[in-house]
Amino acid sequence: MSAFQSGLEGVVVAQTEISEVDGERGRLIYRGGNLIEGVWQRNVPEIAHLLWYGRFPTAAELADLERVLASRRALNPAARAALAGLPVDADPMDALRTLLSAAGAGPGCPSPSIDQAKTITAQAATALAAFWRHRRGLPPVEPCAELGHAENLLYMMRGERPTADEVRWLEAYLVITADHALSPSTFTAQIVGSAGGDLWSAIVAAISTLKGPAHGGAIAAATAMLADAGTPENAERFVVDLLDRGGRLMGFGHREYRVYDPRARLLGAVCREANPAFHEVASAVEEAALRELARRYPHRPNFTNVDFFAGGILSRLGFDPDFFACVFAAARVVGWSAHVVEYLDRGGRIISPKSEWIGPEPASDPG
């Protein structure tokens, strides 16, 4: 009997202590049994230390990590030259991939390390902000050593310090999406690392995977859908008409979760505060959608996922819809790098699965 599983469905290809998706109970677990609900209000360096090293940092370790991130944010000359050469209408994911590839270009192929992860995490935010300004015909803003990771990202976009609330909203998004077990982009990064590739190459490959609409495009699609819904009063009719036409409700259903995505619950709370008008429409659509999906497909789990409320937060912070996946990528660099280094530290072999031949037998032996 064939062992083939399309999409590697249910096939275990790695072991990890970094994060776990408990789809049956709707839990996302970060290192050490920390549920996402208990850690989402930490800052990015704290969560990065947790995912990279397996524990939260001491005060001294946190201060040191923040200092290192601050010292590595600036783009090098190669990345600046690449930025200048990018067309302003380039896809932001292409821009992020290009800038990080240029930033990491160097001699040889150094083995992935957490030290490299710190540099890429710092520079991903800078690259994102730099292209956001490049698209508007503005020069990049240099990072400020006095500001934290999330605050710097918004500062480098705008050229002025964001409010404390804005920093808190972005920090929450970056923490909640920092890792999610073995997603397609994470697996891609692991494959590159397993072949002996450096961490920059692994992250660039992961970004290329995330660019695919089936992986990283759902936030923008869900946001556009909610804009089409228009008003809370129109939510019921919008949902019914969309489903009657055979359309798809974006932001519902997940390959892993059989119940409500815990990240969606947390992001919904952030969205309610950050963008009340968006949240009002989204909540009305969500209520109608969950009711209608349960009625039409009673045996299929179709609950709210992480993408549904995210666009309300990111748009409130000034990100264009086609930048949403870039922000996701800047957050996920932490998780991607953690998984690559863990796989190698465990002595992981080069990932080389088999394919199953289903073509015709040769007409005759060549002998």
Residues catalogued as catalytic: 254, 307
Identify the burial level of 38 via C-beta atoms within 10 angstroms of its C-beta, where 0-12 means exposed, 13-18 middle and 19 or more buried: exposed
DSSP-assigned letters across all residues of 39-53:
HTTS-HHHHHHHHHH
Distance of alpha carbon 119 from alpha carbon 44, whole angstroms: 14
Residues 6+ apart with CB under 8 A from 29: 19, 20, 21, 22, 35, 36
139: its two tokens? 């020069």
**How many C-beta atoms lie closer than 10 Å to residue 54's C-beta?**
13
Count CB neighbours of 207 within 10 A. 29
Residue 232: CA atoms inside 13 Å, Cβ hemisphere, count? 10
| CA-wise closest residue to 105 among 85, 128, 80, 122 | 80
Six token digits for residue 346: 């465990």
CB 16 within 8 A of CB 181: yes
Sequence-ordered list of residues with C-beta below 8 angstroms from that of 189, at least 6 positions apart, any chain:
202, 203, 205, 206, 336, 337, 339, 340
Burial of 178 (0-12, 13-18, 19+ CB in 10 A): buried
Instruction: Name the 3-class secondary structure at 335.
Output: helix
**Residue (of 134, 128, 175, 135) closest to 154 by Cα position:** 128
- What is the torsional sign of CA 305, 320, 184, 122? negative
The stretches of 141-250 forming alpha helices (DSSP H) are 149-158, 164-176, 184-194, 199-210, 213-216, 218-229, 235-244
